[in-house]
Amino acid sequence: MHPVAAKWGYLVGVVALGTVTVVAEVVSATEVAAVGISMLSALVAFKTMTLQALRRAHGDRLDRLEASTVAASAMDRVGVRLDRVLVRLDRLEAAQSLAEARHLAVAERLAALERHLDDGAPDR
């Protein structure tokens, strides 16, 4: 937010809070709620007007900022997806290593069985 608009927004907020506090001591709770709601409405209207003024004054810069924010968000999503893919790839590599180790163990057992059979051991 523009620094001047931020200062005015803060000032309006402080004045609104002070007004609600002073009014609270004078009137009933229902009236305080009504005043509070009207003050909040005024703050929302002020914020809306400030944002519209900023949009008119710096619209192209805000559009570029929004576009870069959207692009950064998309990049973050791509990064998260890439992390998931890398985790899956790590799992697949671990599974492949385990399968290769099992294959090697089976091959060694088969070779031992073939040697045993070649040595003339009787069939079972």
Answer yes or no: is pLDDT of 123 > 60. Answer: no
User: Is 49 among the domain residues?
Assistant: yes
Sequence-separated (6 or more) residues with CB below 8 Å from residue 5: 50, 53, 54
Structural domain that includes position 59: 3-118
Mean pLDDT for the chain? Answer: 77
User: Is 124 among the domain residues?
Assistant: no
Q: Which helix (H) or strand (E) holds 50?
A: helix 29-118
Higher-confidence residue of 5 and 113: namely: 113
Rounded CA-CA distance 97/101 in Å is 6
User: Is 64 among the domain residues?
Assistant: yes
Among 2-6, 53-57, 91-95, which range has the highest average pLDDT? 91-95
User: Is 29 among the domain residues?
Assistant: yes
Answer yes or no: is pLDDT of 97 > 80. Answer: yes
- To the question of pTM greater than 0.75 for the whole model, the response is no
Rounded CA-CA distance 17/61 in Å is 33
**Tokens read off for 124:** 């079972």
Predicted confidence at residue 120, as pLDDT, reads: 73
Number of structural domains, the chain?
Answer: 1
Q: State the CB neighbour count (10 A cutoff) for residue 77.
A: 10
User: Is 81 among the domain residues?
Assistant: yes
